[in-house]
Structure 1
Amino acid sequence: MPLRRLFLWILLGSVAFVVSYFVLFPHVFRCLSIRYSDFRLAAEHLYVSPELSPRVQTHANKLIHESRKRIETFWGSRVGKPTIILCQRADQYRQYCNSGDGAGCSIGTPWGTSYIVLNMDGLNTDVIAHEMCHDELFTRLGWWKTTREIPQWFNEGLALMVDYRFVPKTDSIQRYVDYKDEYLYLSRGGQVALDLDDIASMRGFFNGQESHVMLAYMTSGMEVSRWLALTGEKKIPLLIQHVAQGKAFEAVYQELEQENKRR
């Protein structure tokens, strides 16, 4: 095949992929074109609904700064720089998040850009830090590895470590004890327990009633806090680095835990 024709096929294939992606995920296109909407650029990487007052914008900036500090402390550094979209109305949130559920959502694209969409319920440090933790993982691993190789229970459990809505900030061992208490309460002492394999996919994690989703969160929080109590938070960047280099998540996850037990 002549080089020119090959280039044309590659170009057409790339265009078809992008068009198909935006047809399937129109909210991503809306996020990508946020600068051309009526949302205002209130600060670097922060777009806000035109209805928001200057006072709320100032408060949002303060909370974002606090959330970034949490990420830096937990991860050891911060590499993610998502564009944050703060919505005043429910219809705005559905437009950019593609769902009316929750207080916030994080969106990553195959080409590396990322967004965090918040409604007014998400205007607090816990929600923002939670979504920033998702974004940090995405930024360090990329879209493909995050979506295909990282189990959802780990992604969500990790985000809970910087989100103090369910378990307050404390030392790693007490955090595990507190999550286990929450888990035992929701699972009726383990009678309706979820296996990690059951919540490894996005569908398995969120495809259920509210009680299922809450149990999935507490199961994830208990498992990740257990692992961190054994290995320490400094092992998180190392775990992600190994996965980025091509090693299987499950193998590295278990390896780092066993390595600590042998000491």
Structure 2
Amino acid sequence: MNKGNSLTPEEVRNVTAQAKERVTAFFGDMHCLDKTTIIICDDEKITNRIGEKDTNTFGFPSKKDYICLSNEYFNIDVLAHELTHAELHSYISADTQRSLPVWFDEGVATQNDYREKYSYENWVKRTNNGENATPLEDMDTYSEFQCNDEDERQFHYICAKNEIRNWLNKHSVQDLIELIKAVNDGEDFDLLYNS
């Protein structure tokens, strides 16, 4: 935490513990903790460079995830979302991570993000029960998914969360882990995801 941070150490511990519990309940375990650093920072000089709510994975000198959150975004939902990214990334190389469709990575992360704006009810309303959902191929890349229009960007999160929710209704989280491990070993993502 930076010096001017308004969160108390107790608040940080409580939010972190609850977010970790949520991610552990989803995956059954957490492997990412020894290779993940959480940064809480409201210093504009730093957040302008690394973002105020983001997970970045760096592959050199060794693979490590950095979660950077400002006070505004330091809550259970956002931290659980970012820790889910880190846990998913712990099973794969940085190259595989970059090759995954962004809708998949974000769709998995939003499974542990319980904010109302990503709820199933909101998906039904916003997509007219799926009729107006954004096609997956239009959310593959970072620039497509994280478009400039904030409302459209939020809509992408809703669509991605529902896509993964539907997939998990037919498969297990263990199937999800096996899928990404197989992709990491060189198998085709689309073929495995759609089988």
- After TM superposition, the score normalised by the length of structure 1 is 0.67
CA RMSD of aligned residues (A): 2.1
Query: Are residues 1:104 and 2:57 paired?
Result: no
Could you tell me which amino acid in structure 1 is paired with residue 10 of structure 2? T
| Structure 1 residue ranges without an equivalent (≥5) | 1-47, 169-177, 256-263
- 113, 116, 120: which one aligns with 2:71: 120
The 8 Å contact of residues 104 and 117 in structure 1, kept in 2 or not, is answered as: yes
- The CA distance in 2 between the partners of 1:77 and 1:154, in whole Å, is 20
Aligned to 1:84: 38
**SS where residue 88 of structure 1 aligns?**
coil
**SS where residue 105 of structure 1 aligns?**
strand
Which aligned pairs between 1:2-21 and structure 2 lie closer than 5 A? none
The 8 Å contact of residues 153 and 196 in structure 1, kept in 2 or not, is answered as: yes
CA shift, 1:188, in A, is 5.1
- The CA distance in 2 between the partners of 1:117 and 1:235, in whole Å, is 29
The 8 Å contact of residues 103 and 157 in structure 2, kept in 1 or not, is answered as: yes
Could you tell me which amino acid in structure 1 is paired with residue 106 of structure 2? E
Aligned to 2:178: 238
CA shift, 1:238, in A, is 1.6
The 8 Å contact of residues 85 and 117 in structure 1, kept in 2 or not, is answered as: yes
The 8 Å contact of residues 134 and 155 in structure 1, kept in 2 or not, is answered as: yes
Which aligned pairs between 1:190-229 and structure 2 lie closer than 5 A? 192-229=132-169
- Paired residue total: 191
Deviations 1:147-203 (A, max 9, x none): 12x1111100100101101379xxxxxxxxx52x32242235656531100001111
> Which one has a bigger Cα radius of gyration?
1
Cα 1:113–1:197 shift into 2, 3 Å: same
The 8 Å contact of residues 117 and 158 in structure 2, kept in 1 or not, is answered as: no
**SS where residue 193 of structure 1 aligns?**
coil
Aligned to 1:160: 110
Aligned to 1:175: none
| Structure 2 residue ranges without an equivalent (≥5) | none
Query: Are residues 1:136 and 2:76 paired?
Result: no
Aligned to 2:97: 146
- The CA distance in 1 between the partners of 2:172 and 2:129, in whole Å, is 27
Aligned to 1:253: 193
Cα 1:88–1:252 shift into 2, 3 Å: same
Deviations 1:67-116 (A, max 9, x none): 12222211122111211110134443223x2x4xxx51001012302200
- After TM superposition, the score normalised by the length of structure 2 is 0.88
Specify which structure has the bigger relative contact order, considering alpha-carbon pairs within 8 angstroms and separated by 6 or more residues.
2
What is the percentage of aligned positions where both structures have the same residue? 24
**SS where residue 106 of structure 1 aligns?**
strand
The 8 Å contact of residues 75 and 236 in structure 1, kept in 2 or not, is answered as: no
The 8 Å contact of residues 90 and 119 in structure 1, kept in 2 or not, is answered as: no
The 8 Å contact of residues 86 and 117 in structure 1, kept in 2 or not, is answered as: yes
